[in-house]
Amino acid sequence: MAMGVERRVCVTGGARGLGAAIVRGFAAQGAHVHVCDILRHEGEALVGELRVEGFRASFHLLDVAQESDWQALAALLETGPGRLDVLVNNAGLIIRKSLAATTLAEWDRAMAVNVTGAFLGMKHCRALLARAAPSAIVNISSTAGLIAHGDPSYTTSKWALRGLTKSAALEFAAEGIRVNSLHPATIATPLTDAAPAGHLAANRHAIPLGREATADEIASIVLFLASEAASFMTGSEVSADGGLTTGGVAHMRSQYQRQFAQGG
């Protein structure tokens, strides 16, 4: 990107939680951030706050699982500078049910949001990213994309996102677009707060550092992956898990077995 050119950044699921922390991080760097979410009230409120603080931000109503929404967003971005420097595929959902308890509709929704959403974003933003090259895509996966969690639809979708990231990295490299996946452990966000009783305690027990990550801690890694400091990284899977995948798996397994034995 040329010196002095304002970076354009798109963050899905950007209205709250980790997404909002990522949005604020890019805004603080001087980027114009496109906050994309199905949560209109929260998204517009965040954009309003950022503008009051002197930052550049816009809200776009976007259901990542709907191709027409992505097409409309890409067309809108084409009418502006016609480029996009960073795409962060952060939108996601968790269905905390065992395989036997998960319905087909729930399974399909997890895949649609967690995998298809990232696929559509990369597909329809590719030309915009290529014009801004060197540019970057960061796909927010999970430790569930590195090991098995007790939520099979979530685990499967995050493994799929990890593979999709690697395939896109190979395909987009010649166009100057880097694609990496980030795999956090539990993050202290509203999504985490909605977890069943005992879930957070089980996760803390499994994480050697003994706590969840803060949204700002994970957002800082997203900013790094999107920066020139990570210019030789593509197709990488970056773990930010407090040591979970290093030594906490056995503890997590026992906690999940107890959870599902109780009908979780």
Cα–Cα distance measured from residue 264 to residue 94, given in angstroms and rounded to the nearest whole number = 14
Dihedral, CA of residue 109, residue 115, residue 116 and residue 122, to nearest 10: 150
pLDDT digits (tens, 9 = 90+) for 134-174: 999 999 999 999 998 889 999 999 999 999 999 999 999 99
pLDDT at 259 over 60: no
Residue 205 has a pLDDT of 75
Element (H, E) at 61: strand 56-61
How is the chain split into domains, by residue range? 8-196+213-241
pLDDT digits (tens, 9 = 90+) for 93-116: 999 899 999 999 999 999 999 999
Q: Which CATH superfamily is domain 8-196+213-241 in?
A: NAD(P)-binding Rossmann-like Domain (3.40.50.720)
**Ramachandran bin of 50, using left for φ above 0, alpha for ψ from -120 to 50, beta for the remaining angles:** alpha
DSSP reduced 3-state for 50: helix
And the tokens for 22?
A: 């990522």
Dihedral sign computed on CA atoms, order 55, 61, 66, 67: negative
Q: Choose, from 55, 119, 154, 256, the residue flagged as catalytic.
A: 154
pLDDT digits (tens, 9 = 90+) for 162-212: 999 999 999 999 999 999 999 999 898 766 666 665 666 666 778 888 888
pLDDT digits (tens, 9 = 90+) for 209-243: 888 899 999 999 999 999 999 999 999 999 999 99
pLDDT digits (tens, 9 = 90+) for 35-93: 999 999 999 999 999 999 999 999 999 999 999 999 999 999 999 889 999 999 999 99
**Ramachandran bin of 29, using left for φ above 0, alpha for ψ from -120 to 50, beta for the remaining angles:** alpha
And the tokens for 106?
A: 């729930």
256 is catalytic: no
